[in-house]
């Protein structure tokens, strides 16, 4: 199946034949008579315990609450742009409407395919570049949430050195880095922040390589960092493993990763930067089910609860008041968080 997808050949029959536990595609149909929704995941798909899983959670809630029918497919590492386009066309040809693309890597594909299917509504998460009358851009203020976890790292570090591991060096992931560094330096202007990226575009493997994530984080811990924040999707699991081996701390991303990692790794998770993709997906589908299809940019920031930080595990309980003060200053406009390193 992966080979077929990589070649851009995908039929609805092939989609339906793949179960949720195998292959590069998964499907699950609701019993309601409402919308037929197609969701195209980025590399890693369901089970990445991060970005894709958050989108899946929103889809699952919509399926339960709204009685929609769903079909899902995920990208294959290293696939051609034509494969992403064909994935979207397959949904559209099969009558799925709306179609949701998870991740900025779908930007060019959504822009192209949406023009071919003007009567189908598309939504893309984490991208503002794909424009069209039938496209909704669901984006987030990642830099704001990252500022808060950067402040947490600085408040907790004992070595005055922290780290950041990005999956792929793109403008989006640089927003995480910029916010994290700004938050850390707001607390301790002289703090050292080590940064590294696991791959460079068009190579997006940095979002699905736990071994590389572990090696990168281990290097930071060996150098002296005692807290490392990752914005690397599925590669983040390796960062947590490195933290465990080094007896240091790590910060999760997108979901509350304290709740999703193996129990043996929970003790290393200081906090997670919450990016509520599930809320954005659910709200979009709820509006669609009511006949009010959103289009254009929909931005989810601290003020509307689009991003935040987690408190699971209790390791930030003693600094929560300080983090909440920073949070309110950002909401009030007293602090403007940079979006570029």
pLDDT tens string 60-110: 999 999 999 999 999 988 888 999 999 999 999 999 999 999 999 999 999
Round to whole Å and give the CA distance between 270 and 248. 10
Whether 94 and 14 have beta carbons less than 8 Å apart is answered as no
- Asked whether residue 12 falls in the same domain as residue 25, the answer is yes
Q: What per-residue confidence (pLDDT) applies to 26?
A: 41
Does 337 reside within a domain?
Answer: no
Range of the domain at 225: 142-275+311-331
Q: Please tell me whether residues 74 and 59 are part of one structural domain.
A: yes
Instruction: Say if residue 8 is in the same domain as residue 25.
Output: yes
Provide the b/e sequence for 225-241 (b: ≥16 CB within 10 Å). Answer: bbbbbbbbbbbbbbbbb
pTM equals 0.84
User: Do residues 322 and 175 both lie within one domain?
Assistant: yes
Spell out the alpha helix ranges (H) of the chain.
Answer: 2-6, 12-17, 51-66, 81-93, 107-116, 142-156, 171-187, 210-223, 236-246, 277-289, 320-331
55 closest CA partner among 286, 300, 276: 276
Assigned token pair, 20: 């949720």
Do 111 and 250 fall within a single domain?
no
Q: Using omega within 30 degrees of 0 as the cis cutoff, is the peptide bond preceding 336 cis?
A: no
Between vectors from CA 170 to CA 206 and to CA 51, what angle results, nearest 5°?
A: 55
pLDDT per residue as tens digits for the range 266-314 = 999 999 999 999 999 999 999 999 999 999 999 999 999 999 999 999 9
> Do 51 and 149 sit in the same domain of this protein?
no
Q: Which residue has the tokens 């983090």?
A: 323
266 and 282 in a single domain? The answer is no
Provide the pLDDT for residue 96: 97
78 in the same domain as 51: yes
Residues 264, 198: contact at Cβ < 8 Å?
A: no
Residue 182's CATH number: 3.40.50.2300
Co-location of 40 and 119 in the same domain: yes
Q: Which residues in the chain land under pLDDT 50?
A: 1-32
Please say whether the beta carbons of 232 and 48 come within 8 A: no
Q: Answer yes or no: do 83 and 207 share one domain.
A: no
């Amino acid at each position: 199946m992966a080979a077929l997808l990589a070649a851009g050949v995908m039929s609805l029959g092939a989609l339906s034949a793949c179960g949720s536990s195998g292959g590069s595609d998964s499907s699950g149909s609701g019993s309601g008579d409402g919308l037929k929704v197609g969701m195209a995941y980025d590399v890693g798909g369901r089970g990445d315990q991060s970005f894709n899983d958050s989108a899946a959670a929103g889809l699952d809630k919509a399926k339960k609450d709204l009685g929609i029918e769903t079909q899902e497919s995920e990208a294959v590492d290293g696939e051609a742009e034509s494969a992403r386009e064909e994935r979207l066309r397959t949904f559209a040809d099969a009558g799925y409407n709306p179609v949701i693309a998870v991740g900025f890597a779908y930007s060019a594909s959504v822009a192209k395919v949406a023009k071919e299917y003007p009567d189908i509504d598309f939504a893309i998460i984490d991208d503002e570049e794909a424009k069209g009358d039938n496209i909704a851009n669901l984006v987030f203020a990642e830099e704001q949430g990252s500022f808060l976890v950067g402040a947490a790292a600085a408040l907790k570090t004992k070595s005055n050195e922290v780290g950041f591991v990005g999956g792929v060096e793109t403008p989006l992931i640089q927003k995480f880095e910029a916010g994290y560094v700004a938050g850390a330096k707001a607390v301790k202007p002289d703090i050292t922040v080590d940064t590294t990226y696991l791959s460079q575009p068009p190579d997006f493997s940095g979002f699905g390589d736990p071994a590389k994530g572990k090696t990168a984080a281990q290097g930071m811990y060996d150098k002296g960092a005692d807290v490392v924040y990752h914005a690397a999707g599925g590669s983040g699991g390796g960062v947590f493993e490195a933290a465990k081996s080094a007896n240091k701390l790590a910060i999760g991303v997108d979901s509350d990763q304290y709740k999703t990692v193996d129990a043996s790794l929970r003790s290393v998770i200081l906090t997670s930067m919450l990016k509520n993709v599930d809320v954005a997906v659910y709200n979009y589908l709820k509006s669609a089910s009511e006949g009010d299809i959103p289009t254009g940019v929909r931005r989810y920031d601290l003020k509307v609860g689009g991003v935040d930080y987690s408190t699971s595990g209790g390791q930030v309980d003693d600094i929560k008041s300080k983090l909440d003060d920073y949070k309110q200053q950002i909401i009030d406009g007293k602090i403007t968080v940079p979006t570029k390193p």
